[in-house]
Each structure stands twice: as structure tokens, then as C-alpha cells.
Amino acid sequence: MAWRCCSAPNNQIEKHHPDGTQEIIFPDQTVKCLYSGGLEETFFPDVIVVKVEKNGDKIMVFSNRQKEIHTAQFKRREYPDDTAKTVYSNGRQETRYASGHVQIKDKKGNIILEK
């Protein structure tokens, strides 16, 4: 048997695959995949993908090719032009531009390094 399917009262469809993967299709066409290794992926109708690792790290990929990464230590937004903006758990902010320019601010927003 390739997979087992069932419909829930809330109109979502659940598929259970032999390898332990669970796939849930919601009425708005959002699809959530739960893998046996602990990885979780959610595919939204507007082409946003959210991956949640077993350790809780979250990666979001947006339709405009931006990517956002959330960990316990930081949150980072990566842009298609290779610019990356990171906010650390202590409030420090770092922006690295594709040109190589770097700007670091303290938790109050004061620039502490620019090169």
C-alpha cells in the first residue's frame, strides 16, 4: 500500500505514507508534511515554504526569493541581491550588503561598527 488517506471533519485530508511521513492538505490548499526524522515542511498556496527542523530552527522561503531563518540565537532575512540582515537574541543587529559593506548596531540601534 502506497499510502493511507482519510478525511477529517474539518475538510482536511491526511495521508499516511509507509515511511512514517504524514501529509495534511488543508481546505485552503496549504500542505503540511511531517517526516519521521522530525523535519516539518509547510507549503502555502502563495508559494511560501516553511521548514521547521527537529531542533526548532525555522526557514521560510518567500515567492520573491527572500529567505528568513529563525534560530534560538538569531533571526536573519536574506535578500536576492545577497544582502543579509541579522538580529541576534541580545538585540544586536548586523547588515551585510552584497558590496561587502557591513553595519553593526547595538540593541538600542546605535551604530557600533561600519566598514
pLDDT of residue 40: 94
- For domain 1-63, give the CATH number: 2.60.450.20
pLDDT by residue (tens digit) across 58-69?
A: 999 998 999 999
Give the pLDDT of residue 6.
66
pLDDT band at 98 (very low <50, low <70, confident <90, very high): very high
- 3-state SS class at 84: strand
Domain boundaries, the chain: 1-63, 65-115
- Full DSSP string of 12-60: -EEEE-TTS-EEEE-TTS-EEEE-TTS-EEEE-TTS-EEEE-TTS-EEE
> pLDDT tens for residues 10-67?
889 999 989 889 999 999 999 999 998 889 999 998 778 999 999 999 999 998 999 9
